[in-house]
Copies of this chain bind each other. A is one copy, B any other.
Amino acid sequence: MTRPPTGELELIAQLAEIFGAAPPEVVLGIADDCAALDLGGPDYLLWTMDSLVEGVHFDLTSMSLIQLGHKSLAVNLSDLAAMGGKAHYALLSLGWPPSRDLSEALEFGEGLAACARNYGVTVIGGDTVSSPQRLAVALTVLGKVPKSEMLQRSGARVGDLVYVTGPLGESAAGLEILRRELKLDPIQREPLIGAYLDPQPQLAAGRLLAREGLASACIDLSDGVATDLMHICQLSGVGARLAATDIPIPSGVRAVAQMIGKDPLELALQGGEDYQLMFTSSPDHVSHLPAVFKQTGLEVPSRVGEIVTGKEVLLITKEKEKIISGGGYEHFRLDPMRSSD
């Protein structure tokens, strides 16, 4: 008998064992952002599914249904971005509380459709089911990536540099502003609220990294840098060192951290939901990489650390080195957003 799982990651690993080995055309299965299938032709088919549950992943007191529709698709597209893929089709399953007006489901649909149009995705179907108490959204997305270009979590090598495609901690800070009704200068406030309510999947950056062969490993930042970098490390058999002074933390995130008495690094590294890409890249590309991003009109990624031997993610501050792997958000370990059930 298998021993009882103690958390989500262990449960997923044990389920993978129960489900057994996949046939050879399944290039990537349970361990990456998307499954990848080789069904013939020059591309892999990428396939992902994500569920969002009211009160756990979102809260409709601070988020409109239009924003929820947008974000539901965006978090799925972020998984495809991490593989260097292009997104094509989506199917929706919408769990709707009978107490909520059905016409509001159309607002959700408008937000979903707007996100789909932004990223060239067609929503080709779906069903609705009754979901007492809580609204729940499940979305599955199909995309493609040229076989020779696919990015994975497993390719990081010792000596590679670690980058992120944008600022960190914004979404976590935005959520704190909404939950605690913090007062902030609008110029600082807007990008944080936007990062939380209206995340932008980094499909263009992922495609660029893939096409130009610039990333040895890649993941999207959904759970937080500490946890997500650990996924790369575990699958690549390496460790990582992050330099605290190199972490791109906007002034708004620092302001929020001060207001709530937290270390800004905690918001940036363990906040989660940034939906930026984190990738590793050979030092050979160190001068080339910023130029390629600039040419394409994309924000130049920030270098935040390096891949080292070992099994841990270390954070280097002025005072000390500390292990930060195993932090971040673990679905069944931490409290959900609201625990009043």
- Chain A residues in the interface with B (C-beta under 8 A): 2, 4-8, 11-12, 14-16, 18-20, 22-23, 26, 29-30, 35, 37, 39-41, 45, 47-53, 55-57, 89, 91-93, 95-96, 98, 101-103, 105-106, 109-110, 112-113, 116-117, 122-134, 136, 138, 140, 142, 331-332, 336, 341
Of B39, B106, B117, B140, the contact of A91 (CB 8 Å cutoff)? B140
- Report how far A53 CA is from B50 CA in the complex, Å: 16
Nearest-Cβ distance from residue A308 to partner chain B, whole angstroms: 29
How many copies of this chain does the complex contain? Answer: 2
Cβ of B127 and Cβ of A49 under 8 Å apart? yes
List 7 contacting pairs A-B, 8 Å CB cutoff, sorted by A: A4-B106, A11-B102, A14-B106, A18-B106, A35-B125, A40-B41, A93-B138
Cβ of B22 and Cβ of A122 under 8 Å apart? yes
Q: If A5-B102, A102-B5 touch, does A126 touch B12 (CB 8 Å cutoff)?
A: yes
Measured CB to CB, the nearest residue on chain B to A10 is B102
- Report how far A40 CA is from B43 CA in the complex, Å: 12
Of B12, B91, B116, the contact of A49 (CB 8 Å cutoff)? B91
Of B29, B30, B39, B113, the contact of A18 (CB 8 Å cutoff)? B113
Cβ of B19 and Cβ of A130 under 8 Å apart? no
Shortest 8 CB-CB contacts between residues of A and residues of B: A138-B138, A4-B103, A30-B125, A19-B123, A140-B140, A51-B93, A29-B124, A132-B341
Q: Chain B residues near A116 (CB, 8 Å)?
A: 19
Cβ of B128 and Cβ of A336 under 8 Å apart? no
11 more CB-based (< 8 A) A-B contacts, given A52-B129, A131-B134: A6-B102, A15-B105, A15-B106, A18-B110, A19-B122, A20-B122, A30-B124, A35-B91, A49-B127, A56-B132, A132-B341
Q: Chain B residues near A47 (CB, 8 Å)?
A: 89, 91, 140, 142
Measured CB to CB, the nearest residue on chain B to A93 is B51
Q: Chain B residues near A14 (CB, 8 Å)?
A: 106, 109
Measured CB to CB, the nearest residue on chain B to A97 is B341
Measured CB to CB, the nearest residue on chain B to A105 is B11
Nearest-Cβ distance from residue A340 to partner chain B, whole angstroms: 9
Cβ of A131 and Cβ of B56 under 8 Å apart? yes
Cβ of A126 and Cβ of B30 under 8 Å apart? yes
- Report how far A50 CA is from B133 CA in the complex, Å: 19
Cβ of B49 and Cβ of A4 under 8 Å apart? no
Q: If A93-B50, A102-B332 touch, does A133 touch B134 (CB 8 Å cutoff)?
A: yes
Nearest-Cβ distance from residue A151 to partner chain B, whole angstroms: 17
Cβ of B51 and Cβ of A95 under 8 Å apart? yes
Nearest-Cβ distance from residue A156 to partner chain B, whole angstroms: 21
- Report how far A57 CA is from B40 CA in the complex, Å: 37
Q: Chain B residues near A132 (CB, 8 Å)?
A: 53, 55-56, 134, 336, 341
Nearest-Cβ distance from residue A28 to partner chain B, whole angstroms: 8
Nearest-Cβ distance from residue A37 to partner chain B, whole angstroms: 7
Nearest-Cβ distance from residue A122 to partner chain B, whole angstroms: 5
Q: If A93-B51, A98-B336, A331-B128 touch, does A109 touch B5 (CB 8 Å cutoff)?
A: no
Q: Chain B residues near A41 (CB, 8 Å)?
A: 39-41
Q: Chain B residues near A101 (CB, 8 Å)?
A: 4
Nearest-Cβ distance from residue A97 to partner chain B, whole angstroms: 9
Cβ of B56 and Cβ of A129 under 8 Å apart? yes
